[in-house]
Amino acid sequence: MIQLDYVERSHSTQTVPVVCMHCDSPTCAEVCPADAIKKTEDGVVQSARKPRCIACNNCVLACPFGIPKMLDDQALMMKCDMCYDRTSVGKKPMCATVCPSGALTFGTREEIEKLRPRSRPLNRFQFGQQTISTKVNMMVPRDTPTEQLDVTESMHEPNQPRTVRLAVMDDALFEPATG
């Protein structure tokens, strides 16, 4: 599922892709009383499974990134699952495939760093006192001194335009080849 938010600007409407961050400890799965949300061995947090989801909305309320959406007509939570049907067979997620600006990319750490040599990946996000680590990385300038992004800090600067590039990287692909 590719979700887009529409942001009204004074002169145009922008579309902003809303991708799941695939948290290392996904709050959405932890608060699900029906155990409907699973994390795969390779770190992908799946959408709720139809026979188990009870449409309680806990996952929607718990996600610090606001990713899960409840489809009321189907009584089911849906969210980005990194196009698991595609990535599990070696294809790129659809959002990275169709992104017209190239802001969304998918690949190994080496591939991403080659594409953006002046950037480095961050996958730790600070929400007040809580730090969340994710599978999705944001590319920041290489000389950025911080090791995590303070999400709440950016919430207090509503008039500051921000350009953020997301890169989905698979940690399993970072291991050096053997033999």
In a domain, 159, yes or no: yes
pLDDT > 70 in the chain, percent? 77
Total domain count, the chain: 1
In a domain, 122, yes or no: yes
The model's pTM: 0.69
Task: Check: CB of residue 62 under 8 Å from CB of residue 27.
Answer: yes
Residue among 62, 61, 32 nearest 48 (CA): 32
125 bridge partner residues: 132, 149
In a domain, 31, yes or no: no
In a domain, 134, yes or no: yes
In a domain, 83, yes or no: no
Residue among 104, 98, 112 nearest 164 (CA): 104
* Residues whose CB falls within 8 Å of the CB of residue 150, separated by 6 or more in sequence, listed in order: 125, 126
Task: Check: CB of residue 123 under 8 Å from CB of residue 19.
Answer: no
Distance CA(173)–CA(89), nearest Å, equals 14
In a domain, 72, yes or no: no
Residue 96: which domain range? 91-174
Q: In the numeric block, which tokens belong to residue 4?
A: 């887009």
pLDDT in tens, 145-157: 878 777 666 555 4
Place of tokens 């970072």: 174
In a domain, 170, yes or no: yes
In a domain, 130, yes or no: yes
pLDDT in tens, 113-149: 888 888 888 888 887 778 888 888 888 888 888 787 7
Distance CA(32)–CA(98), nearest Å, equals 32
pLDDT value, residue 168:
45
pLDDT in tens, 53-88: 999 999 999 998 888 988 888 888 888 888 888 988
